[in-house]
Amino acid sequence: MSRPEGPLLECRALTAGYGAIAVVRDVDLRVEPGEVVALIGPNGAGKTTTLLTLAGELPAISGEVVFRGAATKAPLFRRARQGMGFVTEERSVFMALTAEENLRVADVSRADAVDVFPELDALMGRTAGLLSGGEQQMLTLARAVARGPQLLLVDELSLGLAPVVVKRLLQTVRRVASERSTGILLVEQHVRQALNIADRVYVMQRGHIVMSGTGTEVHGRIDEIEATYLSGTRDEPTDPHSPR
């Protein structure tokens, strides 16, 4: 699959939400091949809504999403055929199947998954429901990466995991982007760890992008950013019809 000139993904003046209720407004962002872009903000800022809209799971209210050089309103399964992958915040493994059977369902080879996470090789015969949370996320990420997406959207990969596991997952995200030229848009609650691997960062608050810059620039202002923009405590709603 050839790579287009310019950004892999871009949204322009994107407004999106649930029904007529706008949750994110006038969002502009882009993801280039081979870079990790972090989207950070307090709970309830609209990060998940943004990802769902970019993935085609929610329709845009206004503005446009441009994927591989063409504006699109296609649903996720069609965007997936064009090279988009989406790792949701839920651990999307079949708990009753073994790790290897989970790969077969996705038409992913054991060798390709182990190339992403060598730790999985010894776990292939184990039922996914008996894997630790970190191992389940390794399986989920390996399955997504092994399918060879040009663009990968990743929502809260580290939810509920220990910092050492988060570090391992994010190191792999960085390696995938660098070695495979995959563009990655990452929503991550472990902000400081995310900034360590991000090329560029967008800070979202109350549905708006309030700051953007390189990973180094934003990391240099992290204390200010945490105090000003990341101090929200409201949980992201779990109701699919509620703003997120």
CB–CB of 108/147 below 8 Å?
A: yes
Within 8 A by CB and 6+ apart from 78, the residues are 56
List the domain boundaries for the chain: 9-228
Task: Round to whole Å and give the CA distance between 120 and 135.
Answer: 8
Buried b (16+ CB within 10 A) or exposed e, 197-222: bbbbbbbbbebebebbeebeebbeee
Residue 57's H or E segment, with its range, is none
The CA–CA distances, whole Å, from 153 to 56, 131, 191 equal: 11, 24, 17
Q: Which two tokens stand for residue 35?
A: 């870079």
26: tokens are 């006038």
Which helix (H) or strand (E) covers residue 26, if one does? strand 21-31
Sheet bearing 208-214, strands edge to edge: 84-87, 151-155, 183-187, 36-40, 200-205, 208-214
Contact 181, 24 (CB under 8 A): no
**pLDDT (0 to 100) of residue 240:** 39
Q: Which one, of 196, 191, 100, lies nearest residue 146 by Cα?
A: 100
State both tokens at 119: 């730790």
- 42/14 Cα distance (integer angstroms): 19
Q: What is the CATH number of domain 9-228?
A: 3.40.50.300
Which is it for strands 21-31 and 70-72: parallel, antiparallel or unpaired?
A: unpaired
Structure token digits, residue 212:
């953007």
Q: pTM here?
A: 0.89
Q: Name the residue with tokens 């950004």.
A: 7
In order along its 244 residues, the chain shows pLDDT tens digits of: 555 568 999 999 999 999 889 999 999 999 999 999 999 999 999 999 999 999 999 999 999 999 999 999 999 999 999 999 999 887 789 999 999 999 999 999 999 999 999 999 999 999 999 999 999 999 999 999 999 999 999 999 888 899 999 999 999 999 999 999 999 999 998 999 999 999 999 999 999 999 999 999 998 999 988 898 887 533 333 333 343 4
Q: Which amino acid does the sequence have at 36?
A: V
What distance, in Å, lies between the first and last C-alpha atoms of the chain?
34
